[in-house]
Amino acid sequence: MPNSIASLTLTKRQKELVDFLRDYRKDKGISPTQREICERFGYTSFGTLQKHIRLLLDKGVLVRDWNKRRALLPAEELHELQARQNGFPPLTAHTDTAGPAGLKAVSGATGVRDLPLFGAIAAGSPIDVASEQETVSVPDVLTRRGENYVLRVRGNSMIDDGIQDGDFVVVHRRRKAENGEMVAALVNGEATLKRFYREGNGHIRLQPANERMAPLMVREEDLEIQGVVVGLMRRY
């Protein structure tokens, strides 16, 4: 189980952000948007807020509820919800001999399924099943009804969404996506992990979560959606 907030060293502003998020969710039942957080603390730039969020995600204090506009929530809230639903803490990481991926569910966990590992997702590498198919054990809470699979992330294009090089994302196989959803997609045969936005006139914007990277504009006919990201796993 990740460290509790009390056991972590937070700056005054980081603690204020976490307290605001927790109080907002307690009062309204949902998380604030990033715009609302900026207004609360007087930030004129989303970049300033993103730096705080990135650090809090890295420390495990905050987590993201994937594919939702109001996505941020305190980690302990998600842990408690998952424990109630499944009777075990969320999968964080293992580096033992739990199969080729080196990941497995928490000892004694129930509600776990083995999903195929379809290799790495990075520019220039198509999403294909390896000749000797590998599998990863994934808690049901990180999956959706239907077909799911796992991809190993290469690169830092989604770092501001808390996804780092070497992470494993759980993908729900779908051929269509809604605006704002994070998709695994093929663009002219090359794989990429980005957020999906329909721009009109037959064009799609694939938005990275890295302020140093520009969005990718593609024609709809050149894009093949392979699925939508619904879960994240990481080694520690």
Active site residues per annotation: 157, 194
CB 71 within 8 A of CB 65: yes
**Type of residue at 132:** E
Let me know: does 143 contact 194? Beta carbons within 8 Å: no
The 3-state secondary structure of the chain reads CCCCHHHCCCCHHHHHHHHHHHHHHHHHCCCCCHHHHHHHHCCCCHHHHHHHHHHHHHCCCEEECCCCCCCEEEHHHHHHHHHHHHCCCCCCCCCCCCCCCCCCCCCCCCCEEEEEEEEEEECCECCCCCCCCEEEEEEHHHCCCCCEEEEEECCCCCHHHCCCCCCEEEEECCCCCCCCCEEEEEECCEEEEEEEEEEECCEEEEECCCCCCCCEEEEHHHEEEEEEEEEEECCC
Half-sphere exposure at residue 63, Cβ-oriented, CA atoms within 13 angstroms: 22
Q: Which candidate, 26, 17, 24, 101, places its Cα nearest to that of 59?
A: 17
